[in-house]
Structure 1
Amino acid sequence: MDVDVDPRPDKPLLQLRGISKHFTGVRALNRVDLDVRAGELHVLFGENGAGKSTLINVVSGTFPPDEGTFHFDGEEISHLTPQRARAIGISPVFQEFSLVPSLTVEENLFLGREITSSGVLRARQMRKRAQALIDELGFDLDPSRRVDDLSRAHQQMAEIAKALLGKVRLLILDEPTASLTERETGRLFELIARLKSQNVGLIYVSHRMREIRALADRVTVLRDGRHIRTLDAATSTDGELVELMTGRKIDLLFPTIAHKPDKVMVDVENLTLADGSVRDVNLYARTGEITGIAGLVGCGKSELIRAIYGIEPATSGVIRIDGAPYEFPAPRRSLKRGIAYFPANRIAEGLALSRPIRENASMTVLDLPAFARFGVLRQAAERARIADIMAQLQLRPPNIERAAGALSGGNRQKVMLGRALTRELTVFLFDEPSVGIDVGAKLEVYEFMKRLVEAGAAVIVVSSELPEVLALSNRLYVMHHGRIAAELTGAEKTEQNVLSSFFRDHLTAEVA
């Protein structure tokens, strides 16, 4: 990892003035100013669709600005490309990974910057350098593994390593902790502190207030493509940032939900999965309440609800839905039984990004007579129903013929939620429902859950965000290493008790 010391730390490393960017029918950036100093972490904060992604794409050379000036290290830059950005020391780590799945980690690290001698690849030298960088970063990552064999967390590590392989002056991190465990997040924070001490500037995009409090020197708030204000992180409050971001005062982040638990709708007994990620789990979920499942990334909580829906295979145990055994679960059969699943990875599993919003929202109901007859789609009925649902969910903008890939993270989540309103459903499985979406969109998702529960549905929420799962759930299971470590209700449902269940498990393992 190569870093340069800035000889002029008093001057901005990056200075943008009046940056604008238009896409078809959309003004994504409207005369935005931004400066980043060497050795500071500058947070970009805003709702989905505020212009953050467009701005970091401009900085990294992916999109040329329509107007405005771009200075880097005092030099005016024009016609920036990703290759030139990398050459001058601008390294982005995007939320949507740029790795080639069929290549190994080390091949991805050196893609486009291979080490050669007389036209011959220096494979041993590249492998040695890749391993040295990964060791320096403290990542548990095998450089010889193919990317498509890695977990999402390890792919995130590979992306960060790739960004830090060459000369780095400005590092851009877009929601970097979304796929990382607490330990890996801690290592990333240590790396950030080291980079700051070496005068590397950082642009950091996050919706997580705790991360902003832990890392930020300054925060720039964007709204509707405009620069609203830049604040010192130390003197700004969470409420102030959220109000600037949304343009309105938000008193409560989590709604008050009137839980009225009734009959058991989902009953899991001694469930063990084929890959060993879940072992001998017992769990139940009732109508009229939110059942939470907390745990660190990789603890098995996501695999558990995927098994209920029929995505992950089980080797033993029983799943009952509304009292009846549910053998050989499969997504199509689950939908017919009234079970909906909302995956954490909206890009890979949740949506067909190249297809219209309308098709994405209706894809789970094409077996219903209201939408199709004799294998022929009733397009007028589909269009009318999906338009009505998206209006209820306040999709912005409301054009249901736009490609899902053109939407912000919050609006993509709304398209997935819209499927729940197209057919009769009683069980809702949410996997990391707020990952990658802003505070305003989170509120809308929480209100959606509140309406489901108060209408008598059984809702299971899996989340790595402790404040979220504690506030939403009526009963909370804590998972650790594939097993249920605790079940908490009422006054027992505290952050301290959740964390102590992890430590108790660690102590038991050490004694054994």
Structure 2
Amino acid sequence: MAAAATLVNESQGAQSPEMAPPLLAVSGISKRFGAVRALDTMDFDLRRGEVHVVFGENGAGKSTLINVIAGAIPPDQGSLAIDGKELRFRDVQDARAHGVAAMFQEFSLAPHLSVEENIFLGAEPNSYGFVRIAERRTRVAEALSRFGFAIDPQAMVARLSRAEQQMVEMTKALLTDPRVLILDEPTASLSQKETESMFGLVRQLCAQGVGIIYITHRMKEIEAIGDRVTIMRDGRFVKTVDVATTTQKSLVELMTGRSFEKFYPEIAHTPGEVVLEVKNLTTLTGCVSNASFAVRAGEIVGLSGLVGCGKSEMIRSIFGLEPVRSGTVEVRGKSVPVRTPARLLEMGVAYISSDRRNEGLMLLRPTRENLTLSSLGQTELSWSGWLKTASERTFAKRLGERLRVRPLELDKPVVKYSGGNQQKIMIAKAMGRETDIFLFDEPTVGIDVSARVEVYGFIKELVEAGAAVIIVSSDLPEVLNLSHRLLVVRNGEIVDQIEKSDISEGRVLHGFFGTIDETSSH
């Protein structure tokens, strides 16, 4: 494919390694969307063979920056250079032709096409307009094998798990042999084993001189894979630091502009009566098998396990979202034989989904409608089937302010908010009713550190006011630090129940993999 970018400046002569320009240099990039300045004279550089993390709150400008670098959107001003040559990309294909590829958090896959068709979509090997199917099939099989992705090339993408779809997206990006690779939250849906495989692949690419721009909110990932971190705030460059010499506390303070004395709050544990009890629960699909546990008022019970272990299905089945073969659920001592979300809501149980976009929110509807959705039947909001519109606005405003949605605009579509604000709106919606049992499924997925701290604060308020909380999380430090009791799930079964004083990373990991923890007496 012929290079189509406009070459602005040619480098003059060869340079010594010491004087060589960075692989990628971004200088003074600015971008506006209407009245909103998403990037404000942003600077960034990437060296060959490094993992450079871009770190910032939702709304800091990270997505806009990587979209500019990937050729998806043009900057209003500023310059971008590769190997010292200033370039302007017309589009994503143009950027790929110059060695810049991206794997975005929101996938660009065609769900009703096969893995093979998706990987070469728009770039199929062809002769005179006819796709060379045999060649495409061979190249896809070789690529999946080389990158260590165990996926059937003929499988329809819609039927793959999100982790498998992520692997397809990664393969698409890598097949262009990029010199600059952008990874946007690449491990958000991966298990620990899959994450380690991803890190291994990243290290191989770096050893070959590929520069990687890595977006993540996870501190442990920054420490595990990052070389440098550039912090952004309000669309601007704050500072670039070396991972090896920077603490988590410093990163959070640089990102937010304020101090956090403690990342995870101390949550008082004053357990009351049992308000939710699950007995021998088995789902129709078998992803949950013979699960039994109880939750008391005033405590947090965590569910932890590898991706696909059945932990999410466990709380979804409690809420009537997964069909059950056998077992019982009791709420405040009363059996609930026929469980539907509407019935559980009436009984004071709320489920906060891990999937904001498809289950948790009506993205194209106004904020006020999302905030009041689960409360419409209450007398404060309706009369004889008619909505009290003035009361709805007051009710929604109160909930939005309680959860500190900023800036709160009741008529604004939810899709226009950052991930952190969307998560707050989803939690606020659950708090609009008389609710004292909360089922959180991945409560901080895809949100930044500052929003995480706020979500943890809300959970603390709920529990210390007497609510019972279950937290399902794939973020191990999160579930270790927040839980008063921790249930370890493996292959759909609860294999360990750990009290707060005995919770340790080692014991939990042994539970994940079914190995023996010789330091534990359990």
Selected match of 1:16 from 22, 26, 31 = 26
Identity of aligned residues (%): 50
1:82-101 superposed matches below 5 A: 82-101=92-111
Corresponding position of 1:151: 161
Question: Partner amino acid for 1:228?
Answer: V
1:392 is the counterpart of 2:402: yes
The answer for the alignment partner of 1:480 in structure 2 is: 490
What is the DSSP-based 3-state SS (H/G/I as helix, E as strand, rest coil) of the residue aligned with 1:167?
A: coil
Partner amino acid for 2:293?
A: L
Tell me whether 1:209 sits opposite 2:219 in the alignment. yes
5+ unaligned residues in a row in structure 2: which ranges?
1-13, 518-522
2:464 is aligned with 1:454? yes
Structure 2 counterpart of 1:418: 428
Contact 1:139–1:184 (Cα < 8 Å) also in 2: no
- Cα 1:144–1:349 shift into 2, 3 Å: same
Structure 1 counterpart SS, 2:451: helix
Aligned to 2:416: 406
Q: Is the 8 A contact 2:306 2:512 kept in 1?
A: no
Counterpart in 1 of 2:307?
297
Give, in whole Å, the separation in 1 of the partners of 2:370 and 2:476: 30
Alpha-carbon deviations, 1:49-70, whole Å to 9, x = none?
1111111111112221111111
State the one-letter code of the partner of 1:58.
Answer: V
Cα displacement (A) at 1:119: 2.2
For 1:225, the aligned partner's letter is: G
Contact 1:42 1:219 in 2 (8 A): yes
Q: Alignment partner for residue 333 of structure 1, among 343, 349, 353?
A: 343
Gapped runs of 5+ residues in structure 1?
1-5, 508-512
Aligned to 1:30: 40
Q: What secondary structure sits across from 2:93 in the alignment?
A: helix
1:232 aligned onto 2:242? yes
Q: Per-residue deviation at 1:73?
A: 3.0
2:5 aligned partner: none
C-alpha deviations, 1:368-416, integer Å up to 9, x for none?
Answer: 2322333332221111111122122221222222221111111110110
* 1:172-206 deviation line (CA, Å, top 9, x unaligned): 11111110011110110010001001111110001
- Tell me, yes or no, if structure 1 residue 366 matches structure 2 residue 380: no
Counting matched residue pairs gives: 502
Q: Distance in 2 between matches of 1:38 and 1:378?
A: 60
2:190 and 2:16 map into 1 onto residues whose CA distance is: 35
Match of 2:11 in 1: none
Q: Is the 8 A contact 1:87 1:167 kept in 2?
A: no
| 8 Å Cα contact 1:485/1:505 also seen in 2 | no
Distance 1:23 1:301 in 2: 40
Alignment map for 1:96-495 (pairs within 5 Å): 96-495=106-505
- Aligned with residue 82 of structure 2, among 62, 72, 88: 72
CA RMSD in angstroms comes to: 1.7
- CA contact 1:319–1:326 (8 Å) conserved in 2: yes
Normalising to structure 2: TM-score of the pair?
A: 0.93
Q: Distance in 2 between matches of 1:171 and 1:8?
A: 25
**Deviation digits for residues 434-490 of structure 1 (CA, Å, limit 9, x no counterpart):** 111111111110110111111111100011122211211111100011110100003
Change (3 A) 1:101 1:375: farther
**Aligned-pair distance for 1:506?**
8.2
1:425 alignment partner AA: T
What amino acid is aligned across from residue 400 of structure 2 in structure 1?
A: M
Note the C-alpha offset of 1:367. Answer: 2.1
| Contact 2:328–2:336 (CA under 8 A) maintained in structure 1 | yes
Measured after TM superposition, the shift of residue 501 of structure 1 is: 2.1
Q: Residue 503 of structure 1: CA displacement?
A: 4.0
Contact 2:274 2:297 in 1 (8 A): yes
Cα displacement (A) at 1:46: 0.7
TM-score of the superposed pair, with normalisation by structure 1? 0.95
Measured in 2, the distance between the counterparts of 1:353 and 1:19 equals: 30
